[in-house]
Amino acid sequence: MFILDFYNSTEDIKKAFDPFYTSTSLSKATDINVLHELKASLDDPGVYEWSEVEDFVEKYFKGVNAQELSPIIDIAAERFNAGLELEETAKADYKIKAKQFVKIYGQMASIMPYEIVVWEKLFWFLKFLIPKLSS
């Protein structure tokens, strides 16, 4: 079961559910600033140029054929896989952060009170890039 509660504290929710369940697990609220931190970490190594993200997203939402989209992603994947000569630990860390960004943004996008367009663009770009990242 999943409960989304903007009013009660984590402790109050746990107390309310404990009598009915053998175990109650709760996660604390996700700090939206973690997305800023993840994006900065993803931008830093130079896996993608922001113009590539913009180009991909523009074409993706225009419904362009996958054969036109794939080369954009392939350029970033090639940089990650070989061009930047990243160590395996750095590759693994990058891929974990990319997956975290996609997961957290995917969960938060529908309930965030504001829209950050660069996060949305990066979300779509990473969804297609992650499967092509070796590690």
pLDDT in tens, 9-33: 667 766 666 666 655 454 555 567 7
Domain encompassing residue 76: 31-132
The pLDDT value given to residue 124: 95
> Is this model's pTM higher than 0.85 or not?
no
Confidence of residue 125 (pLDDT cuts 50, 70, 90): very high
Q: Is residue 109 part of a domain?
A: yes
Q: Is residue 74 part of a domain?
A: yes
Q: Is residue 3 part of a domain?
A: no
Number of domains the chain is built from: 1
Quote the mean pLDDT of the chain.
83
Q: Is residue 11 part of a domain?
A: no
Confidence of residue 130 (pLDDT cuts 50, 70, 90): very high
43, two tokens: 């931008």
The pLDDT value given to residue 32: 72
